[in-house]
Chains A and B, each alone.
Chain A
Amino acid sequence: MSIEAILIVNKSGGLIYHRDFNNKTSATHLNGNDYLILASTVHSVFAIASQVTPKALKLSPPKIDFTIPYHPYVGVPNPNSSNTSNRRTVSSQKLGSFKGPDFFNGPFTSWNKSGIRQLITDHFTMYIYQSLTGLKFVALGSSVAVLGKNAAVSNEVADNFLRKVYCVYSEYVMKDPFYSLEMPIKSKTFDQSVKSLVDNLL
């Protein structure tokens, strides 16, 4: 499995959702409290990183294109694929109020322009996607460049994937009348949808 954990951090730096997809029961497993600390650390380091910029970029700001290309069917079943045996049947999989086989179908602009977007280590890669409202979606992948051939492509795929997690969040968390904003997410439908996104990743 390529995604090991997903975390959602609210705009004040609190962890509101985390889920492990790694079934191995290892001794190095983090407990709930560790995840809370990890989340707020990510939040702070993200803020610090956005404050430090290479001087060259400050003196002559380059025109950077923050457009992220659309990678088709990341995390959702491909309706054109002949290999449907190991996937859920397409017709039974609904995307809530999102119509069509995929949540979106075009390139989009990244909102995260000067914060941390990717963190590569020897054992895992972390991807961060931030929404315009300050919500952070964090994915931990099990190996370097797990989602693509190289780090850049892998980051694009991760942004595509995390935007889908954002779509699912807007669908099943925001439309839950019993959910209070900024509080931990305890929604079963959301949990299932995130799981199926992760399971559908190759």
Chain B
Amino acid sequence: MPQSRSSSLSSSNPANAPQVRHLKALGDDTWKNKVEKVNAEFFHLTYGTIVAQLCEEYAGDYARVNGELFQIGYNLGVRLIEDFLARTALPRCDTFLKTSEVVSKCAFKIFLNLTPEVAHWNAARDSFDLVFGENPLAEHVELPPGASGQLWFSNVLCGVLRGALEMVQLDCDVEFVSDTLRGDMSTDIRVKLNKVLRDEIPAGED
């Protein structure tokens, strides 16, 4: 697969730096001062229970489990976007680059207290990877032998991203490309923009 692998654009583009710093400050501040916290362990264990239950119910049909997790995520995402927008009131992203920074510096920070790195932009600038050091939802997880190579444990995140971006008129494909649970170096989510749904942008925005 030929792919131009440039380093993160955000850090290499100085004109963009103040904006990125502003988004980072906004994400940090919102997370710190405006969001009620719960124990992350509680969240991880609840998610683990759901995945384990799905694996059991679908008797190891991991493709189906992936699909179901994605669907759960999608349904979460179309609702979660309202929470995100109400909290941050960020203006519409004019470039996909900005979208990537908002997702990594604000959205992941506020909801999961993580800041994935944005990397691996393609030449057309419509696809990037979110790089997590570890799998974000799988702190206590080891995949069963049959599942490794098939199950994307945190696939719910792809669904969330897809659903949330769709509600702000960005039609994207979101998928995992690597996972530390499968023995890869890092956990990467690829976000690829198919189309901006211009017709569906609400009236009055210009």
Identify the A interface with B (CB < 8 A).
Answer: 11, 46-47, 49-51, 96-100, 103-105, 108-109, 111-116, 130-135, 163, 166-167, 169-171, 174-175, 181
Contacts and interface: CB of A to CB of B under 8 A. Distances in A.
SS class, residues of chain A in contact with chain B: loop
B86 A114 contact: no
Contacts of B89: 104, 108-109, 111, 163
27 contacts: A11-B202, A46-B203, A50-B203, A97-B36, A98-B34, A99-B34, A103-B86, A104-B89, A111-B204, A113-B205, A114-B203, A114-B206, A116-B204, A130-B202, A131-B82, A133-B85, A133-B202, A167-B86, A167-B87, A169-B82, A169-B86, A170-B82, A170-B83, A170-B86, A170-B87, A171-B83, A171-B86
A116 B203 CA distance: 10
A181 B74 CA distance: 13
A109 B89 CA distance: 7
A181 B79 contact: yes
Nearest to A64: B206
Contacts of A111: 89, 91-92, 204-205
B203 A109 contact: no
Nearest to B81: A133
B52 interface: no
A51 B80 CA distance: 30
A34 to B, nearest CB: 23
Contacts of A167: 86-87
Given A105-B33, A135-B82, 6 more contacts: A50-B203, A114-B203, A115-B203, A130-B202, A132-B168, A170-B85
Given A114-B205, A163-B89, A99 B82 contact: no
Nearest to B31: A99
Contacts of B205: 50, 111-114, 130, 132
B172 to A, nearest CB: 16
B167 interface: yes
B78 interface: yes
B83 A174 contact: yes
Contacts of A135: 82
Nearest to A112: B204
Interface string B151-192: 000000000000000011000000000000000000000000
Interface string B44-76: 000000000000000000000000000000000
Nearest to A134: B202
Contacts of B203: 46-47, 50-51, 114-115
B17 interface: no
A132 B34 contact: no
